[in-house]
Structure 1
Amino acid sequence: MKRIGIYAGKNLLRIILLLFAVSILTFALVSASPIDPLQANVGQAALGSMSKEQKEKLRSYWGVDEPPVQRYLNWLNAFIKGDGGISLLYRQPVTKVIAVKLGNSLFLMGLAWVVSGLVGFLLGVIAGVFQGRLPDKIIKGYSLVIASTPSFWLALLLLIIFGVWMKILPIGLSVPIGVEASGVTFLDRVRHAILPAVTLSITGISNITLHTREKMIDIMESDYILFAKARGEKTGSIILRHGIRNVLLPAMTLQFASVSEIIGGSVLVEQVFSYPGLGQAAVAAGTGSDVPLLMGITLITAAIVFLGNFLANVLYGVVDPRIRKGGLGL
């Protein structure tokens, strides 16, 4: 247990250092952006009609005149104290904005993550068992096509079919239009999350399917599977007792590592469906040079990705004693 704690502590320290590096890189990229935050958010016409004093106050509010290094140190000092700053677009604390957006995104990405993992694993097992036959060819062909399909194109296609032509699902947003927050039900949120969640699930299935298929093929061609067949063990029993048990661990690890793909895909999908999550807020913050909000969103998403990879490594060590002994020095 002591060495497991040391292992977890080292990984936690590594995550903190990575987040620090991400914050520096993000701030540098935003500072190098040619976008003028005043013009982007106030408008050229309104900016031209302001007096010199008003412009100076506005530039001071946005921190345009301060050197980039000073602005970063000011942000870092406040962030360490638990203050993420005020969003320049929403005029609210960054923590409050992110809390609302993150809740929407986690609901959406959680559905997509679970569905893509379960379906991808099932398809991968089927393809591996029926290697070279019709089910394998269909599943493999589908996975290769989906892997090369842009998520925004698939989102637009699903939106046109189910939202415009068939009119059986909402075309966007996370709640019905014109309904107060107190009147929104859980089923309303689910209906509005179906299309974006299905889009993310479809695009996330291919990698897990193809990876599980290759592992399943290796297992089905292994010596102990051939020995089980020679003993007269039925195919169904072989798959359940030997195949799935041995392929579950790498598939589970890949599933946790796929968090970054889900987050990356959600940015484009949320834009297509006007879904008010972290992805849409990140695009608005980037185009509007809302540095405090963009920094907060970047660090939150990076932390989720790093945490997913960390859990994958720990889970691998807990399930497989050989990995635990080698990786943790036990």
Structure 2
Amino acid sequence: MDVLTSETPEAPAPGDGRGHRGGSLGGALLSRLVRLVLLLFAVAVASFALMLGSPVDPIDAYVGADIAAIGPEQRAQIAERWGLDDPPVERFTSWLSQVVRGDLGQSHTFNQPVADVIAGKFLTSLALMSVAWCLSGVIGFGLGLLAGIRRGQLTDRVITWWAYTLASAPTFWVGLLLLYAFSVALQWTPVCCAVPVGQVASEVGLLDRLHHLLLPAVTLSLVGIAPVVLHTRQAVAVAMASDYVAFARAQGERTTGLVVHRVLRNAAGPALLLQFSSLGELFGGSLLAEQVFSYPGLGAATTAAALGQDVPLLLGIALFTTLFVYTGNQLGDLLHSWLDPRTRRLGAAR
């Protein structure tokens, strides 16, 4: 008797994951979004609490040297306009409701909406941080790769010593040394600012901008070089001591081929993850670098807001920085899992 065969497609096996891939992707995205919302809320609460506990009075910081010229009525008007007389919980809920609607408030320091201040200043800082981030990643990975290949030799000891020296050197101090050496003594680079003094920013050419950007970017890149060097060196050293590299050597493969085909990808994953995870340190270093070189970016705006107790701007920068760093960490995690499939299997097992 003939047996009728069904043309129904084969159902996925219980363990192959084909039927759940779309659901797992959506669940992962939802989980990351929920964590981001919870993180932003926690940062908002902590930042607001720190602002309340600050010993600096916002009105005194805003008025400055003319504080003795204003009377109690004027102080009361400023406090009422800023909502400083309201209870802390009411102030926080009012500010949070504005943030949910997309309104970060008004900056007292710049007399502009906080969103406009952050957008304008971040564009200036973005060029600085992008160049510094690329320099630290490329130089750090190259030096770490070289040190790992020649582990125990003089080259490795020199690079490692230099990396430890950079890791322990404050950015502010390094910036002052570079400023004195290249701007004051040699006069190769400008002393300050993002554009030549006295010129309109829109009229400045690309070469002049790069000339002013070079030294601050080099200073800021030193923040991230040392960790990338040390982690890449360790990853390369482990890969070079592995069994599959030893087997390839026994087959007659040279060091260059080993590094390109068997070591480079294993070392690139941790380096990329570390590089994207260092965005918080990069932003923190920009605060100091921009102060040393009078660079008018988001770091300088943060310092001005802190000195002037510009609470709306400080809170807006705190939220923006959290979002910036979280996005960088997630991108680094995705790139790491793409370069190293073992991390995807470990994540699926958990």
- TM-score normalized with structure 1 length: 0.96
* Matched residue type, 2:317: I
| Higher gyration radius (CA) | 2
How far apart are 1:149 and its partner, in Å?
0.3
1:24 and 2:71 correspond: no
CA contact (8 A) 1:62 1:88 kept: no
Aligned equivalent of 2:295: 275
Residue identity matched to 2:262 = H
In the alignment, which residue of structure 1 is the partner of 2:336? 316
2-structure distance, mates of 1:88, 1:328: 49
1:43 partner SS: helix
Whole-Å Cα distance in 1 between the matches of residues 30 and 212 of structure 2?
Answer: 40
Deviation at 1:219, TM superposition (A): 0.6
Q: 1 CA distance for matches of 2:86 and 2:235?
A: 55
Task: Say if 2:148 and 2:156, in contact at 8 Å, map to a contact too.
Answer: yes
In 1: Cα distance, 2:140 partner to 2:254 partner: 25
Partner of 1:6: 27
Deviation at 1:328, TM superposition (A): 4.1
1:308 Cα offset (Å): 1.1
2:118 counterpart (80, 98, 106):
98
1:319 Cα shift?
3.2
Task: Quote the offset at 1:156 in angstroms.
Answer: 0.5
> Post-superposition shift, 1:181?
2.6
Q: Aligned pair 1:166/2:186, yes or no?
A: yes
Distance 2:347 2:29 in 1: 11
Question: How far 1:239 moved relative to its partner?
Answer: 1.1
Partner of 1:34: 55
Cα distance in 1 for residues equivalent to 2:181 and 2:174 = 11
Matching of residues 264-303 of structure 1 within 5 Å: 264-303=284-323
Deviation at 1:40, TM superposition (A): 1.3
Separation in structure 2 between the aligned mates of residue 243 and residue 85 of structure 1, nearest angstrom: 51
CA contact (8 A) 1:47 1:55 kept: no
| TM-score, normalisation: structure 2 | 0.91
Note the 1:201-280 alignment, pairs <5 A.
201-280=221-300
Counterpart AA for 2:57: D
Q: Deviations over 1:195-214 (max 9, x none)?
A: 11101112210000000001
Q: Which of 120, 126, 135 is the aligned partner of 2:146?
A: 126
In structure 1, C-alpha distance between the alignment counterparts of 2:275 and 2:25, rounded to whole Å = 22
Distance 1:28 1:52, change over 3 A: same
Contact 1:216/1:243, CA 8 A, preserved across alignment? yes
Measured in 2, the distance between the counterparts of 1:77 and 1:329 equals 40
Deviations along 1:154-199, whole A, 9 cap, x unmatched?
Answer: 0000011111111111111111111113211222221111111101
Work out the CA distance in 1 between the residues paired with 2:337 and 2:265.
16
Q: Give the Cα–Cα distance (whole angstroms) in 1 for the partners of residues 235 and 194 of structure 2.
A: 38
AA partner of residue 337 (structure 2):
G
- Structure 1 residue 289 displacement after superposition: 1.1
Deviation at 1:322, TM superposition (A): 3.0
Distance 1:239 1:319, change over 3 A: closer
Counterpart of 1:195 in structure 2 is: 215
Q: Report what 1:138 is aligned to.
A: 158
Q: Give the drift of 1:255.
A: 1.1
- Where relative contact order (Cα < 8 A, 6+ residues apart) is larger, the structure is 1
* Deviation digits for residues 303-326 of structure 1 (CA, Å, limit 9, x no counterpart): 111111111222223333332233
